Amino acid sequence: MGTDLDGGNKRGDNTSMRSSSKPLRIVAVPGFGGAGADYAPLVERITDVDWELLTWPGCDGTPYVDHRLYQPDRLCTWLMSEVQPTDVVVGYSMGARLVYECLSRGMETRAVILVGAVPGIRSMEARESRKDADYALAISIQNMGAVEFAKQWSQHPLIRTQHRIESPHLERQRARRLRNNAKALSDALNFFGQGVVESKWASVRRRMVPALLITGHDDLKYTQLVGDFASEWPSAEHLILQGGHAVHLEAADEAASAIQAYLRRVLLLP
């Protein structure tokens, strides 16, 4: 394999970075419209594990022919088929929500590390409001196309702090967004948006899976939400780092050190 982590080795909907000599494997799911290669800043820093990097259907130029791929049942089948009980699963934003969804359905994993997400919106009224907003955004994406959407989305307050991602990873991530399929992005919102998927707070907090929940200090909304959820989930720890919503990439040094320390402490790794 080459050293260009952002280039990766695509095989359908995921990128594999494996070595048979490494005992611990991390399966990582990116955020909305993301690719496995988005995790490159962490992969470069956490080198004593195997990484399995997943890419959402229709993103970063991957094939997209069936809108049903974004239905929760299909997404859970996809992720759970990749995860072994000895793996650690990492998820960011929409990817973290998928991990929560799979945990609620009994997915077995050694531990989870989740960034900037909770398992759904608890209030039915708030879910309806979010569904309406996502539906409008989905239509807008199809009308403007993936390239224009990527440019506009980079200026969203939740996403804007990603300018802190180090070069060349930021530039490569932005280039990958231009290769996304607009229909896939729309379907992700319509079938797996926060407004259409029921809250899994109750079922997830019953799972005694070691969980490190990370948020960025500047991401006020999710720091509050994740703090509330962590207080209800006995097996979870909440860590706040300096950064925004994508703090694992914006502050990669600190995030990598925290993840490694957590894995050593909780999984008793050397």
Q: Tell me, what's the pLDDT at 108?
A: 98
Query: Do the domain assignments include residue 112?
Result: yes
Q: Using one digit for the tens of pLDDT, what is the confidence trace for 166-187? A: 999 999 999 999 999 999 999 9
- Where in the sequence is the domain holding 207, given as residue range(s)? 10-267
User: How far is Cα 99 from Cα 92, in angstroms, rounded to an integer?
Assistant: 9
DSSP annotation of 198:
P
Mean pLDDT of the chain: 92
In which band, very low, low, confident or very high, does the pLDDT at 22 lie, cut at 50, 70 and 90?
Answer: low
- Give the pLDDT band of residue 255 (cuts 50, 70, 90): very high
In a domain, 37, yes or no: yes
Confidence band (pLDDT; 50, 70, 90) for 21? Answer: low
127 within domain boundaries:
yes
In a domain, residue 23? The reply is: yes
Report yes or no on 3 lying in a domain.
no
Task: Indicate which CATH number applies to the domain containing 201.
Answer: 3.40.50.1820
89 lies in some domain: yes
Give the pLDDT confidence score for residue 68 in this predicted structure: 86
Question: Residue 254 — very low, low, confident or very high, per pLDDT cuts 50/70/90?
Answer: very high
Give how many domains the chain has, as a whole number.
1
In this structure, is residue 5 part of a structural domain?
no
Select the more confidently predicted residue: 20 or 203.
Answer: 203
Give the closest residue to 29 by CA, choosing from 83, 104, 84, 74.
83
Per-residue pLDDT, averaged over 251-262, amounts to 98
pLDDT confidence of residue 181: 97
Q: Is the alpha carbon torsion for 177, 251, 76, 13 positive or negative?
A: positive
Residue 1 belongs to a domain:
no
In tens, the pLDDT along 53-104 reads 999 999 999 999 887 899 999 999 999 999 999 999 999 999 999 999 999 9
Q: For residue 127, what is the enclosing H or E element?
A: helix 124-144
Residue range 191-204: mean pLDDT, rounded: 97
pTM given for the model: 0.92
240, containing H or E segment: strand 236-241
Euclidean distance between CA atoms 18 and 126, whole angstroms: 41
- pLDDT value at 39 more than 50: yes
pLDDT for position 67 = 79
Q: What is the DSSP letter of 37?
A: G
